Structure 1
Amino acid sequence: MDTRIDMILRELMGSTQPLTGQYLAGKLEVSSRTVRDDIKVLNDLLDNNGASVQSKRGTGYDLIIEDNTRFRSFLTDLIKTEESSDVIPTTPDSRILYMIKRLLLTETHIKLDDLADEMHVSKSTLQGDLKLMRGILEKHHLTIDSKANYGMKIDGSELNRRFAMSEYLFNRSYSSPDQVWMDQLAAIVNLSKDKLTDVWVLLLDQLKEHQVTLSDIAINNLFVHIAIAYKRIKEGHHVDLVQQEIQDIESKKEFKVASNIVSEVQQALDVTFPKLEIIYITIHLLGTKLIQEKPFQEQTAEEVMDPSIISLTNKMIEAVESKYALNINHDQELKLGLGLHLKPAINRYKYNMNIRNPMLDDIKHAYPLAFEAGIIASLVLDEELGVSIDENEVAYLALHIGAAMERQKINTRPKTCYIVCASGVGSAQLIRYRVEAEFRSQIRVLGVTEFYKIKDIPFDETDFIISSVPIKENLPVPVIEVNAILGNKDMTRIDRYVSAKKEKVLDYLPKTTMFLNQPLSSKEAVINFLAEQASAYDSLPADYKERVYEREEIAPTAYGNLIAVPHPISPQSSQTFLTICTLKRPIDWGERKVQFVCLLNVKKNSQEDLQDLYDILGRIVNDSSLIQKLLSAGTYEAFIKHLS
């Protein structure tokens, strides 16, 4: 199937409502007429395959599935055609993707033994992958139904199944080195691609034989390190030994694996690796296990990394912390993970080998704040080492920072509350159970009480009160008034307090900084316009606009879904606010089309938690139906209503 047709089908499968021709044209960067022609081709393909695309005047194109079985059979044939069926998944990520595809496309149970045979791995290996796969499916509200002697199949609504298909059936598994940077690597290390492929295969074979599990990224990093190590050794350069006892490293199972890898590589490339190189490859293999198995102590990073890497890592984290106050500067797991990533990555940077990151778009969409923090970290690399990296490498840094941010969320205590009810403790307990079931880790209910005992509440330990009766007296904590029997509106009110979303939207987005349906026709015109409007709203420095362009030069701020979020390279304003404009027609923004532009201004020297603001932006970036509503909004009130 043509790539453009493929994208249209994916977009339609992943949307809960019809998509306009203008929206699809913007996503595909073609004209609306081309979209109409592509829809005709798609309908020809879907004919007699259980589905069709219907055009609804005034609303757009809608995918109608009349026969789920026939449509699923069509998708199965499509995937088999586009992806060679004899490619065997070789990494955890590719195995998980393979299983998700197989289960999504079948109506019956599949035995784990059969999947193991198909992928040439042990059943126990897949059982480990299954846990991760269940977590992925849970995000789509899908579960795995396991039945003795029958196997397993995916269980959930057809709509949720369809959304999962949209995301996973059209992705490509990265089970081999990316050919773009394979060409680069071959030229740099003066080896043929055939030789490099031999190294890749033997590396995977050794990891598989010794049951060492690494992420796709870690395998790629190790592969690149081995290739560059070959070149450096040939030139007479050797790696510096880290500050950990050699005997301790040699006692690890991973040292045997590293020794076997090096032995195979030496034979394949006719080169002799020194023992210190084997030690470092061992530490590379240990990286994931150290993170998973060892409790972190202050000396951990010092034990396994070169002092120069430790210093660089600390400077990067300090720079991020000074700009965004993420409270991650004491995260030992971040220091170790980032440091282990940097050691081989610095070799790539020095050789100007910016490799492609297959997760770039996903990272920018899901973790925009982490990506911006990655930009700040990359500036430290430039300052300290004189190397400039592109957004693919920035996204790898963002992965480590994003993981630290998630750990920080886990470590953040839930909000505490007391429940007040005039009709008795029984009804208060009913409210309590509903709140605890709905909000779990977000809210901890300290207790319930009647209205007349309200002064006995320990306010110093309580963040807020949920009350089914009006409380007119001033209390030292906020009060959320609800009905005795909690309804959806009550739950929404509580959720808004916990996540602070609606209030923050209004705080960050004043009416005077929103400009809808503007006739601007270029990236420069939009940035200049929004910069002028932001300067009118807040006192900004004279070089403000140049700071915005400086950030754009590092990596375009277009995030997909017709959205761009430009901002200065560092905070410049006296308050945090958004300046938004929607455009009459999409414009070019780097390699993407953009129709929704949000100029982000963060308060200078602020210590405020901006995660909720980035959650708002992330929700817009990832919701194509929401962006359509926002683009169609003609008033400030309508715009805010869609966000609420």
Structure 2
Amino acid sequence: MTQIDRWYQILNQLQMMPEKAKKELQTELGISRQTLDTSIEQLNDLLKDVAKVDEQESRLRLIVSDYEHFEDVLLGSLKKESDFNAPSKRISYILKRLIDADESLLIDDLADEMMVSRGTINKDLKVAKEIANRYDIAIIGRPNKGLRAEGSEFNKRLLYINQVYDYFEVDNVSETLVAVVTSLSKLYHLPRHTQILLLKTLSTMIGRLSAKQFLDQINLPLAIVGQANPLLEDILYCLESDLEMTLSQAERDFLSLSLNLQYHQGLQGEGLSEERLQTIYQKIMSQIHQEVIVTFNEEELFKELEEHLKFMINRLIFRNQISDIFQGELRDKYPFAYRLSEISAKVLEAQLGVKVDETEISYLALYFEMFLKGAEVEEAIKPKIAVVCNTGRGTANMIQQQLRKVLGDHVEIDQYAEETFNLQTVKDYFAVFTTFPLRFQQEEVPVIHLTHLFNENWLMEEWQKVQRHHQKQMDKTKALLMRLGPQDSYEAYLQQMIDSLENLQFVDVDFRYRIFEREARQTSLFGQNIAFPHTINKGSPDIVLGLGLLEEPLWIEGESLEFIFLLAIPEVLGDGMEEDLLDVYDVIFKFSNDTQMKDTLRNIPDQDRLIEWLKEGKVLQ
């Protein structure tokens, strides 16, 4: 890790939380206490009058006194302070020279310019090639001719903006244009990081256009479209005046991208047309349905994701990285939503030809989780209670007040006189409270005969019985533990597990066929010691989860398989079962990343303990 990298690692860690133990930070950075002390001392010298890393009782905290300049620091301004002793500065210089060069460059010339050895340049060049490859730029070396950077003008500009610009002083943007950007940024309330990125983009464009390197077209798999943007038009007018040229549509689109990486109030966001975005969205949905069985209101989900996807795609195209405020927590906190996001990321990578990093996956997972939980909340209608009274309106009102006092506002109460209550509507209620015995048999709906109305403890006990009754009614997940003796193949293990489910009459006769049909389309080998075969089951109204524990790991293409989660999903999900199914998914996807859970399951003694374990994960009530 270079000195610059250490500085930014320290700042990024400390800005995420009020304070941090010094020992913890030292461990995370993998450095000695002395190196950490030296780095903090250097940082405090560089950040004088802007911020300070303060230490009290071996705990560190960041004190910021100038937030605007501190944001500049976070956006890369410290990199300019480094010299060619820092590998990151040398690598950036190599990339800069290759992008700017009209002719091939010699390694010896680069070594002389930075006053380092040829061997050092060769080491740095290896890293520079890896970075350039991420932007589809190839650094080609030819004997006796030297090095060249080959790739599109669009990608060269992105490489320059993201990997070069911060390390060098560039002063090619006119004072007039800087003033226009500053003024318009205030007018449109642009955040500081957007303003800085806009200036970096303008500077890079000016440098390339001045060198006669024009962007004739943005050769992307997806076209960026948008409406006229007054902010952009004002900046373009000033830029064209400075350059004394009219910019092509491709140049205008390039500048537009830098302004459309996140939502800005007051600006008309530009991105994919809704038609193109829908096409990608449908590919995402198709891939999700190939890998997991889940039901969405896809139209409503698109409305929730549309704006986020539009800006996310722009960021991916522009190779713009957003800060990770989640610190990797979402993978563990919302495992199923994270898995849906990972599937979506694979589709986006295939469509855009770029890598989707974990931060973007986390942000997208948050949208999936909010939608899933929002749907649960929407479905979680207040329980309806019927109060049936044969002693007059006054008594009925008193009963209602007492129930409100004990049960709160989390229930909806309908009030009936004996003669107006329709026994056919009983099934519509969570419970019926009555002052007289009702003459009907209805096992699904508890009936409470009010004998101790003013005994609040009695009322609460009766209500808890009602809740337990419904929990029991809605426990629609069956679990089965299967210890699997050695088999030659994964398919043989599946056959063995399905045989067990068929013998118990938990699945229909065609369940086996559907499992292997899905397996032919998309393998259920999940990696991380897990397989997750699942499909529709017409043989039971319940969710059926079979857990296969392999007595000996099965090795498939270099990876071991120890756990098989075989999930049979009812053709029709009853009340509350969608939430149960999401709980099953959450436990399985969390399990895939949790070594402690795997150790627990390896040693699970019997079926009863498996059921307890699933209850702890809220799969069973």
TM-score w.r.t. length of structure 1: 0.49
* Cα drift, residue 326 of structure 1: 1.5
Paired amino acid for 2:230: E
- Percent of residue pairs identical: 12
Partner secondary structure for residue 285 of structure 1: coil
2:553–2:561: 8 Å Cα contact kept in structure 1?
yes
**Change in 2 beyond 3 A, CA 1:542/1:586:** closer
Q: Does 1:116 align with 2:64?
A: yes
- Structure 1 partner of 2:48: none
Q: For the residues of structure 1 that align with 2:369 and 2:553, how far apart are their CA atoms?
A: 31
Q: Does 1:236 align with 2:236?
A: no
1:520–1:583: 8 Å Cα contact kept in structure 2?
no
Q: Does 1:637 align with 2:605?
A: no
- Structure 2 partner of 1:485: 457
Partner secondary structure for residue 372 of structure 2: helix
Q: Does 1:446 align with 2:412?
A: yes
Q: For the residues of structure 1 that align with 2:492 and 2:204, how far apart are their CA atoms?
A: 46
* Cα drift, residue 409 of structure 1: 3.7
Q: For the residues of structure 2 that align with 1:275 and 1:581, how far apart are their CA atoms?
A: 58
Per-residue CA shift, 1:58-115, capped at 9, x if unaligned?
xxxxxxxxxxxxxxx9944332454457599xxxxxxxxx99x9999979xx9xxx74
1:334–1:400: 8 Å Cα contact kept in structure 2?
yes
Unaligned 5+ segments in structure 2 are 1-18, 30-35, 44-51, 72-126, 138-154, 169-177, 390-394, 450-454, 616-620
Q: For the residues of structure 2 that align with 1:280 and 1:190, how far apart are their CA atoms?
A: 15
- Structure 2 partner of 1:196: 162
Matches within 5 A, 1:125-144: none
Q: For the residues of structure 1 that align with 2:295 and 2:348, how far apart are their CA atoms?
A: 20
**Change in 2 beyond 3 A, CA 1:578/1:377:** same
Q: Does 1:336 align with 2:307?
A: yes
Paired amino acid for 2:64: A
* Cα drift, residue 464 of structure 1: 1.0
TM-score w.r.t. length of structure 2: 0.51
Paired amino acid for 2:583: D
More RCO (CA 8 Å, sep 6+) = 1
1:370–1:401: 8 Å Cα contact kept in structure 2?
yes
Per-residue CA shift, 1:576-611, capped at 9, x if unaligned?
422112455777799998755422233458798523
Per-residue CA shift, 1:522-553, capped at 9, x if unaligned?
97775564355456643225473363375447
2:226–2:271: 8 Å Cα contact kept in structure 1?
yes
Paired amino acid for 1:277: F
Q: For the residues of structure 1 that align with 2:423 and 2:128, how far apart are their CA atoms?
A: 64
Paired amino acid for 1:509: K
Unaligned 5+ segments in structure 1 are 1-72, 89-97, 124-177, 294-299
- Structure 1 partner of 2:295: 325
Matches within 5 A, 1:350-389: 362-371=329-338, 373-374=340-341
Partner secondary structure for residue 548 of structure 2: strand
Q: For the residues of structure 2 that align with 1:541 and 1:120, how far apart are their CA atoms?
A: 62
Which has the higher mean CA deviation after the structures are superposed, 604-613 or 487-496?
487-496
* Cα drift, residue 489 of structure 1: 8.0
Q: For the residues of structure 1 that align with 2:362 and 2:378, how far apart are their CA atoms?
A: 24
Q: For the residues of structure 2 that align with 1:103 and 1:487, how far apart are their CA atoms?
A: 54
Q: For the residues of structure 2 that align with 1:416 and 1:486, how far apart are their CA atoms?
A: 20
1:464–1:480: 8 Å Cα contact kept in structure 2?
no
Q: Across the two proteins, how many residue pairs are aligned to each other?
A: 453
Matches within 5 A, 1:617-628: 617-619=585-587, 621=590
* Cα drift, residue 275 of structure 1: 1.8
* Cα drift, residue 615 of structure 1: 1.6
Partner secondary structure for residue 401 of structure 1: helix
Q: For the residues of structure 2 that align with 1:354 and 1:591, how far apart are their CA atoms?
A: 33
- Structure 2 partner of 1:77: 23
Q: For the residues of structure 1 that align with 2:57 and 2:445, how far apart are their CA atoms?
A: 46
- Please, what is the CA RMSD of the aligned residues? 6.6
Q: For the residues of structure 2 that align with 1:415 and 1:458, how far apart are their CA atoms?
A: 21
Higher-Rg structure is: 2
2:511–2:537: 8 Å Cα contact kept in structure 1?
yes
Per-residue CA shift, 1:381-402, capped at 9, x if unaligned?
699x597989968777545433
Per-residue CA shift, 1:205-236, capped at 9, x if unaligned?
999x97756999xx99xx99x999x9998663
Per-residue CA shift, 1:395-437, capped at 9, x if unaligned?
775454334333434544523322769999778756544544x
1:315–1:380: 8 Å Cα contact kept in structure 2?
no
1:522–1:588: 8 Å Cα contact kept in structure 2?
no
1:258–1:281: 8 Å Cα contact kept in structure 2?
no
- Structure 2 partner of 1:43: none
**Change in 2 beyond 3 A, CA 1:306/1:549:** same
Counterpart of 1:245 (choices 227, 251, 254) is: 227
Q: Does 1:566 align with 2:538?
A: no
* Cα drift, residue 566 of structure 1: 0.6
Q: Does 1:283 align with 2:274?
A: no
Q: Does 1:465 align with 2:431?
A: yes
Counterpart of 1:404 (choices 371, 374, 378) is: 371
Q: For the residues of structure 2 that align with 1:450 and 1:629, how far apart are their CA atoms?
A: 53
Partner secondary structure for residue 312 of structure 2: helix
- Structure 2 partner of 1:33: none
